[in-house]
Amino acid sequence: MNQFEKRAAMALASIFSLRMLGLFMIYPVFTFYSKQLTGSTPVLVGLALGAYGLTQALLQIPLGFASDRFGRKHIIAGGLVILAIGSVVAALSTSIYGVIFGRILQGSGAVGSTILALNADLTREETRTKAMAMIGISIGLAFAVAMVVGPLISGWVGVPGIFWFTALLSLLGLFVLYGATPEPKAARSHRDAEAVPALFKRVLSNGELLRLDFAIFILHTILTASFIVLPRLLHNVGGVHEDYQWVVYLPVLAVSVAAMLPVIIVAEAKRQMKPVFVGSIAALLVSQIILTFYHASLVELIVMMVVFFTAFNVMEATLPSLISKVAPADAKGTALGVYSSAQFFGIFVGGAVGGWAYSMGGYSGVFGFCALAALVWLFVAATMPKPRFARTYMVHVGDVNDDEARRLAGEIEAIEGVFEAVVVPDDGVAYIKYDGKVVDTEAFTPFGTQHAAAAS
């Protein structure tokens, strides 16, 4: 990556993480604050926690399409303003219904796909994956920081203060957008980074991709449902005051990240993705079963939280990688768009059903629901085929017609180690899926150079 691309990726990663930090911070503290809200019930508390996921799921792909027409930065700025407005509404609300409305507004600023599209506008094909990885890492860090900072801010200025802080972060995101993010030369469609309407049918009929969409849906359903009861358990059973629960979350997350790293190395470097994937689901299932029947001590809670978050972190890291491996070469952006929508819909369902499960069965009701969801997921995952270890690479080939595109794709596919090659004349790009242990990207360079030179 050159300096221009590094600057662009860092700025966009900052905007993404600022958004998500504010949305995540209420997870560990909202159940306590909800007791002060008029009309609060377990079901409505769950809805308030997950409501933003519904509007995120429904709007992020349409807003990505809108950015093609109205401009990336305009759509991102509008989304940040809506997030700020929703945060202010939630901060000023004294009823659970007002907070739910505020959370729905927060989710309406669904500009994640637009940020990725702008990232694609600002990076070359061969460096784009690195830039997207920087954004992905920033989201994971935002979640970890939110688990620690949320209780700290709540203890200082209360949960309304968290909503005000979220609004401030949104405005800070506007500053980064217009003060630090470079201007793209032009906005165009990028099949590796954004959804393409013509490819939805292809993606939604792919059983392997649907299996992975189901996986991220269940993972975030379980995560959101868990936060309806985990803070209460830490307080009521573990004796940890709500303002000091960060003392638990910090070491738990640190240990889980440390435990995750060797597992990811085994999955990728040793090509043991399916055993790691299925094993992580099994670990998550075991943690939920144990918590369903036994949650009487702080030590037990902490141990099960470490198991849960280790499995969660492994999944968060491996699922996007699996999407990239499984998706057709020219449909990665569309596959990731559907995947992300499934993730946010899981957040909504986890809050709604988790709240209902708590009203029906208390702690055991929620963990029992999570265990059942994990069990279904385990059966679905156990039947998945072993994923091929394909990497994706893009080469700018310049202006080619349909016949030249087909010939070029055939030449690339003839290289040993290449699984698939698609050349899209409208994009002037060859999308290649290959085995990195068999062929190096150097083998693709002549195709780009040759056709770029011919076009000039």
140 in the same domain as 14: yes
Packed helices 112-121 and 3-24: angle between N→C axes, nearest 10 degrees = 170
Residue 83 predicted with pLDDT over 70: yes
68 class by beta-carbon count within 10 Å (0-12 exposed, 13-18 middle, 19+ buried): middle
Which domain CATH number covers 316? 1.20.1250.20
Residue 455 predicted with pLDDT over 50: no
* Average pLDDT of the residues in 355-361: 96
* Average pLDDT of the residues in 381-393: 87
pLDDT at 374: 97
Which is higher by pLDDT, 107 or 446?
107
* Average pLDDT of the residues in 234-248: 92
Give the dihedral of Cα atoms 68, 74, 78, 81; nearest 10 deg.
150
Residue 451 predicted with pLDDT over 50: no
Find the range with the poorest average confidence among 22-36, 222-236, 428-442.
Answer: 428-442
Token reading at 440? 């190096």
At 347, the pLDDT band (50, 70, 90 cuts) reads very high
Residue 384 predicted with pLDDT over 80: yes
146 in the same domain as 69: yes
At 386, the pLDDT band (50, 70, 90 cuts) reads confident
pLDDT at 187: 67
pLDDT at 58: 96
pLDDT at 450: 45
50 in the same domain as 27: yes
321 in the same domain as 236: yes
* Average pLDDT of the residues in 412-422: 91
Q: Are 64 and 338 in contact (CB under 8 A)?
A: no
122 in the same domain as 35: yes
Backbone angles phi, psi at 419, to 5 degrees: -85, -40
Residue 102 predicted with pLDDT over 80: yes
Q: Are 305 and 313 in contact (CB under 8 A)?
A: no
Q: Are 147 and 24 in contact (CB under 8 A)?
A: yes
Residue 271 backbone zone (phi > 0: left; psi -120 to 50: alpha; other: beta): left
Q: Are 15 and 139 in contact (CB under 8 A)?
A: no
pLDDT at 393: 86
207 in the same domain as 144: no
Count CB atoms within 10 A of the CB of residue 322: 23
Give the three-state DSSP class for 431.
strand
* Average pLDDT of the residues in 354-375: 96
pLDDT at 137: 87
Q: Which of 387, 417, 441 is where one domain is finished?
A: 387
* CA distance linking residue 301 with residue 294, whole number of Å: 9
- Taking alpha carbons only, the member of 188, 129, 194, 202 closest to residue 394 is 129
Q: Which of 194, 222, 247 is where one domain is finished?
A: 194
230 in the same domain as 343: yes
376 in the same domain as 244: yes
Token reading at 327? 């998706």
pLDDT at 280: 95
Q: Are 232 and 363 in contact (CB under 8 A)?
A: yes
Residue 59 predicted with pLDDT over 70: yes
Q: Are 371 and 288 in contact (CB under 8 A)?
A: yes
* Average pLDDT of the residues in 257-285: 91
Q: Which of 353, 387, 421 is where one domain is finished?
A: 387
Quote the domain boundaries for residue 187.
1-194
> What pTM did the predictor assign?
0.92
Which domain CATH number covers 436? 3.30.70.100
212 in the same domain as 183: no
25 in the same domain as 1: yes
410 in the same domain as 379: no
* CA distance linking residue 222 with residue 269, whole number of Å: 29
Token reading at 426? 């409208």
**Residue 130 amino acid letter:** K
CA distances for 227 relative to 27, 113, 147, 169, 358, angstroms:
6, 26, 11, 23, 11
* CA distance linking residue 271 with residue 387, whole number of Å: 9
Give percent above pLDDT 90 in the chain. Answer: 67
* CA distance linking residue 275 with residue 388, whole number of Å: 13
Residue 42 predicted with pLDDT over 90: yes
CA distances for 182 relative to 11, 12, 176, angstroms:
9, 10, 10
Residue 369 predicted with pLDDT over 90: yes
* Average pLDDT of the residues in 159-180: 96
* CA distance linking residue 393 with residue 118, whole number of Å: 19
Structural domains of the chain, count: 3
* CA distance linking residue 295 with residue 298, whole number of Å: 8
353 in the same domain as 365: yes
Q: What integer best gives the mean pLDDT of the chain?
A: 91
